[in-house]
Each structure stands twice: as structure tokens, then as C-alpha cells.
Amino acid sequence: MLPAPRADLIPNTFDYEILPLVKATGFREYDARWLFGPEINLLGIQALGLGLGTYIHELGQKRIVVGHDYRSYSLSIKQALIIGLISAGCEVLDIGLAVSPMAYYAQFDLDAPCVAMVTASHNENGWTGVKMGAQRPLTFGPDEMGRLKEIVLSGTWQQRPGGSVAQVDGVAERYIADAASRVSLKRPLKVIAACGNGTAGAFAVKALKAMGVIDLIEMDCELDYTFPKYNPNPEDSVMLHAMSKAVREHGADLCLGFDGDGDRCGVVDDEGEEIFADKIGLMLARDLSQLHPDATFIVDVKSTGLFSTDEVLKANGAKTVYWKTGHSYIKRKTAELGALAGFEKSGHFFFNAPLGRGYDDGLVAAAAILAMLDRNPGKKLSDLKKALPIAYTSLTMSPHCADEVKYKIVDDVIAEYTQLHADGGSILGRKITDLITVNGVRVALEDGSWVLVRASSNKPEIVVVVESSRSDDDMRALFRDEVKPRLAKRPEIGAYNQEI
């Protein structure tokens, strides 16, 4: 019987080889992520599988899809996870190398209610993790992650007979065909597919060609788990700038960038301009609300304020709900409210029927963008962007902050802004009109500008986004003169991953 995990084991010791290591901080709000080696070992992954198998039995399930992303250690991690799941009496369906949405698709394709996808998404090499769910198309949220954490760390899992594993072939081909069926492109477009050498490179090219893209340029689509150029993260400025450069060099109509596990899509237009996913979401909402009047859209609190003021959405009877950042939160809210679609600034797009099955999928998002262009044959992507009201939105900026203290830091910032609002205070000469505190704090100002501070759900970081209704300079001032100095007062705040 595997003993309960410990958190104090050190690599290259006897105990590390015979006991499970699991650091509690790896259990995030809606998935699990650890640095493989110092924070979790293979026996710890096996313990995670035992705990997950025990939990899904509590939920009355046992059939589970398992896949893994393309990293040097992901296969061994998946195999350790499978050993734990089998020991817990689960029926494991191993789909092999996959992107996360392929595993979600397989839940429907193979009639399996549960999923465990081994992936560190776009995190740097060294990270690993598991995205889990037991009620398709949803993935775990805080309640489910809390129960799983309790089982694993206490070692109160239950071994059961009857566990099995089957290698399932053909899922990738069916997944690609399903994603491609979302659009049949009639318009000749030159499209760049940027994959950052991540797992999506194995599938995106085939899918885009099947969607009708004849002139397709491959950009870093070869699988290379060293990520030689940059992490596959279409929200990161390095990858976005590379995508922009490629569009200008090739005279492309657009570039579609996919993250490390293929559940996100980033976009650069025909002028080489980066379009953040919330603005692409607004363009899609405008387009789709004409076809589906009175539709509801869900957006995360990092997204542009234009969703609540846009006249086209109002004319089409569309309703927008701002909700917590995180793929699990937006996915769940989209399902709960029966929304047509959900958009997250990080590039997660969620489409319910008839557009999708409700889970986040970079290829289905790409199909939706191509379909939008097909419905606007006389317009370039840059034309659709220029038709939007003007708002100046920053990159997502993340200063380092330890997992153990990041939520306390954000709670303190919420309290400061709450007091400032109550006192009738202002930010750069503008009064605070509203606070949204469902996920950190989003401080709305009287001219429509806003600032956001929240804790990252999957890394030891704080997340900062600002938006100005006035100018690019004002957007930078909101960060430089307001948010950055407010956070800098706290010694726990470290260096930023990127700044404007």
C-alpha cells in the first residue's frame, strides 16, 4: 500500500525513491501543476492517480480518458498516473499524445464521463500538471480540487479491483475531422499557423487544411520539447511579436497561434497587429449575435469593458456577463447560463451548440474566426478590428509572488481599493465608479477605464491588466503610476514577466 505523500523529500535520496512527494501548493483552483522533481515525484503522481480514482468513484464514475502533451517527461508521468488510476479500480482509456481539447473531445467520442490530461500547458519546461474533469464538458473547480487535495495529501484513497487500461487509436483523426467540420472556408486566405514547437503542431496544420485553408504557412510546427525559440504561449509578447513579424514577411491575411496544449488561440491580423483574445471575442460576439439574436456571452474580468458598452451587441439584444478568470470558471459559467460562447483574455474560447461542445479548443476557435471572415468577404481582419470602439488594453503582466502569500496580497489590495472607493477617492484624477471582486479586484473608473489585480490560479504570480478609454500613454500611466507602485510597497512582489 502506497503511504501518504510527504512534502519534505529531497531528490537524489533514498526516501525520494521509495516514498511519494507531493507539495500542497500544486493543487490549484482548477487544475494541478508542479515543478517535476522538487515538488512532485513519480510516486507522488501515482498517489495523485489513486486519489483521483478514489474521488471519481465517490462521484459514481470509473471510466476516464487519459492523454499527455509533448514534453520529455510527460509520458512517464502519464504512466505513473495510470498506475494509480488502475489501482483505484478505474477503466482507463489512453489516447496517447494529445492536446487538451482532444482529451475533452474523447470524453464524448468514447462515452467517458471523466478526463485526466497530463499537461503543463504553456508553462516553462520543468513544470507538469493534470487537467481533470468528471462531468463533461466541465473541468474541476475549487470544490473538486479541494476534495482531491484532501484525499491525496491524507492518503485516504481506496484501492479497488477491476482496474484496466486500453490504448485507443483513431481519436486524433476523429478530433481533427470534428474541429474541421465547424467551417468550410470558401474565401482564399493566406494563413500562418504558429505552434511554438508545442503539442498543437502535431494536429493544427492538418485541421486548418481540412477547414479549407489552401495557402497555409507553418511556423514552428515541428515538435521540440526544448521550446528553442519561446514558450508556446500566444498571450506572451515574444510569441506575439514573432507572429507579427511573420505576417509582415509573408503578406498573410492572419496568423493563428496555439499554446502548448492546444486549448488556446492567439491572433495577429493582416497588418501584423496583435489582437488580444478579448477583442477577438468582441468581434466574434458582434458577428455571432447577428446570427443568434439575444445571445448571452461570458467574459472574464481581464477582458475589455467594451462588451458592456458596445452598440452592436445592444442592437442585437446580446447580454454579457463578466466572471472569474480561469478556463474552468468561464467554461462552467458558459454551461450554467446556456451562453452561446465564453471568451477569456488569455485565449480560451468556449462555444456551446451549435458552434461547439462547451470546452475550450484552440482549433474550434480558429474555425470560428475563419467562419467570421468567410461571412465578411469584403473585409480584412484589420477592418473588423478597426470597426470596434477604441480601447487601449495592456498585455497581461505578472510579477512573481509566492503561492503561499499571493492570495493574502490580493486581499490586501482589494481592501485598499474598497476603502478608496468608500472615501470617494480617485485614480489619476478619475473617480472610482464600481468594483468587481468575483476574482481579485477590477476597479472601474468614471471614463470607462479600469485596472485589475488578481492572483494567478496556476503559477506563483500576481496578474495585472489595465485598460484606458483615452490613449496608449494613459494606459501605460495607469500601470506605471497606479498599480505598479501600489504593489511595489509589498516586499513579497518580485520581478514582472513582462511590462508595458
Say if residues 279 and 393 touch (Cβ distance below 8 Å). Answer: yes
Record the cell numbers describing residue 268, joined without a space.
Answer: 495577429
Planar angle of CA 406, 407, 408, nearest 5 degrees: 90
Q: Position 73: which residue type?
A: Y
Active site (annotated) includes residue 449: no
Task: Tell me the C-alpha distance between 127 and 302, whole Å.
Answer: 25
How far apart, in Å, are the Cα atoms of 414 and each of 336, 392, 419, 427? 27, 23, 9, 15
Cell of 147: 476534495
Point out the catalytic residue in the list 74, 87, 100, 121.
121
Q: Which residues on neighbouring strands pair with residue 27, listed in sequence order? A: 32
**Residue 280: which residues within 8 A CB-CB, separation 6 or more?**
267, 343, 369
| 305 to 30, 282, 315, 319: CA distances (angstroms) | 25, 10, 17, 13
According to DSSP, residue 365 is labeled H
In this structure, the number of other CB atoms found within 10 A of the CB of residue 423 comes to 9
DSSP category for residue 96: E
Euclidean distance between CA atoms 31 and 329, whole angstroms: 11
Yes or no: say if 74 and 58 are a contact pair by the CB < 8 Å rule: no
Residue linked to cell 498571450:
235
Give me the half-sphere count of Cα atoms (radius 13 Å) on the Cβ side of residue 10.
Answer: 1
Cell readout for 125 is: 519546461
CA distance between the termini of the chain? 52
As a whole number of angstroms, the distance between CA 464 and CA 443 comes to 12
Instruction: Of 255, 260, 257, 280, give the one whose Cα is nearest residue 342.
Output: 280
Active site residues: 121
